[in-house]
Amino acid sequence: MTAFILVAGAHTGGWVWQEVAARLRESGAKAYPVTLTGMDDRGRPAGPDTDLETHVHDLLRLIDEVDAAEVVMVGHCYGIYPVLGAADRRPERIARIVHLDAGMPQHGDQALTLVPDEAVRDRLSRGAGAAGKEWLIPPPPLEGWRRWGSVADLPSAVLARLAQNAVPQPVGTLTQPLRLSGAASALPTTGVLCTGNGSSIAMVEGLVGLGDPRFQVLTEPRVSFFELGTGHWPMLSRADEVAEVLLRAAAGGGHRVTGTVREQPAHLRPFLMDVPERHRERIGRVDLHLPGGLPAGVSDGPAAAEGPWPVVVFVHGGPVHPDVRPTPRDWPGFLGYARYVAGMGAVGVTLDHRLHELADYGRAAEDIAEAVELVRADPRVDADRVALWFFSAGGLLSADWLAAPPPWLRCVAVTYPVLAPLPQWVLVESRFLPAVAVRAAGRLPVVLTRVELERAEIAVTVEEFLAAAKECDADVEVVDVPLGHHGFETTDHTEQARRSVERAVRSVLGHLKG
């Protein structure tokens, strides 16, 4: 007999699991939808001292009462914090932990990072919220739930019920750090990823492939994954599928992310074009690939003989852990682009910026601005002819330049870009919204390279950007890559892909003429 302990996210209680629990019981399992202290008018009331430890102890009492051979703990969103805290203290009782569209919090982490309102996060992180009723965070209004996660597939009546039944969240449950000893670190774990909310197995495999040491644990045999094609509240939008996935997870099923690389990781494979190496100068985190200085015996082609040359600055995405080696400026894709434009008579610039976490976009933006000023100050560079080219999640960093383009910025390019924070990226500052910023871009040319086989969660952000650009009559050129994947320059060595790169480069350099 398997018992499922079902723990809901912020502002909600056991009622969200009613349909899932019924399906599990019909299958012969036991199901315990949990309403934590203060999360239901009929349950234990909360007080100013209600915190994460309170909710951990709620679960410990239940674990001790459950009579079942196997106990599977399921945490949704905030619910994974008390789930992990309780499993850490009763590891011998737990058969598996399921992260249902939930993160991977570690010892010392705060659930405060889940709160989408920047002002609330800032206030609470400074210790405010102890007097009067300030120890309670009110639930979002009906129209505010989409900021907590995608509401895809939620009928309007169900969304209204979610808003109506929601209750205030005690501040301490979000600000008290999670306490873990590591006792549960070897337990079998399953991640259920909701693609409508921006998560996918492909994204997990991409993070593992980057070599980020934080994600290597996801390659262990005890870890499995499932996908659900819905938004952030699958227990309300896909109850039958959630129940089925939980049963399969309890039986040890699911996709395994392999740690064995059959060949080089995708981002370290060769560039799709054979581009001669150029003379490179490294200044701190910035590399300049210059039109002159080819290796002996190699023709210089069309590159201009002397400067000052126009410049193209290539901006990588992320987040990329600081320990990843090689760093992005040495990845074949960026080297290939930089050498290619150098061969066409422009300085190609690659750099390493400090987007190590989702909260680092502001710091990364500062790094890019500093790099641009450093490059423009170089006497070999024409400071009035600059293009910025952003890739993947670096697309969000284009917002500052679109919102207030300086006169020397001749073009912004974005390739397989993320052009709006994905639903679960609540730590990204609200200023990084290219679909909003493009309304102030005027006639600044934008060259957007779009891959046909883009991840659905990213493709949505591109279409939103293009719709906004059309409304304001922005100057956007779209370069499509038929059958292209995210990161196609090192994975899709096809003639179509090569032609797309050539077209995008020609377009960007065309805007730098004059």
Closest C-alpha to 460, from 430, 426, 419, 401: 419
Which position has the token pair 């100013």? 48
DSSP 238: -
- The answer to whether 426 and 115 are in contact (CB under 8 A) is yes
For the chain, the average pLDDT equals: 92
Task: Identify whether the C-beta of residue 229 lies closer than 8 Å to the C-beta of residue 192.
Answer: no
pLDDT of residue 62: 97
Nearest to 18 by CA among 165, 156, 193, 196: 165
| Integer Cα distance of 103 and 173 in angstroms | 16
Q: Cβ distance 17 to 235 under 8 Å?
A: yes
Q: Label the pairing between strands 280-283 and 286-289.
A: antiparallel
Residue spans in the chain of domains classed CATH 3.40.50.1820: 2-250, 266-511
Q: What is the pLDDT of residue 131?
A: 43
* CATH number assigned to the domain with residue range 2-250, chosen from the 4 options 3.30.1330.10, 3.40.50.1820, 3.30.160.60, 3.10.20.520: 3.40.50.1820
Name residues whose C-beta falls within 8 Å of residue 393's C-beta, 6 or more positions apart in sequence: 317, 318, 319, 355, 418
- Residues in the chain where the model's pLDDT stays below 50: 130-132, 261-262, 295-299, 302-304
432-479 pLDDT tens trace: 999 999 999 999 999 999 999 998 889 999 999 999 999 999 999 999
**Burial category of 384 from C-beta neighbours within 10 Å (exposed 0-12, middle 13-18, buried 19 and up):** middle
**Beta-carbon-side half-sphere exposure of residue 265 (alpha carbons within 13 Å):** 18
Say if CB 139 and CB 162 are below 8 A apart.
no
Cα separations in angstroms, 12 against 120, 151, 169, 294? 19, 15, 9, 63
DSSP, collapsed to helix, strand or coil, labels residue 244 as: helix
CA distance 342 to 442: 28
Considering only CA atoms, which of 212, 323, 348, 356 is closest in space to residue 271?
348
| Residue in the block written with tokens 């990364």 | 364
Phi, psi (5° rounding) for residue 223? -105, 130
ω into residue 326 within 30 of 0, thus cis?
yes
CATH of the structural domain 266-511, one choice from 3.20.20.100, 2.90.10.10, 3.40.50.1820, 3.40.50.10140? 3.40.50.1820
DSSP-H helix ranges across 291-391: 332-343, 361-376
User: Do 460 and 150 contact (CB within 8 A), yes or no?
Assistant: no
pTM of the model: 0.82
- DSSP class of residue 398 equals G
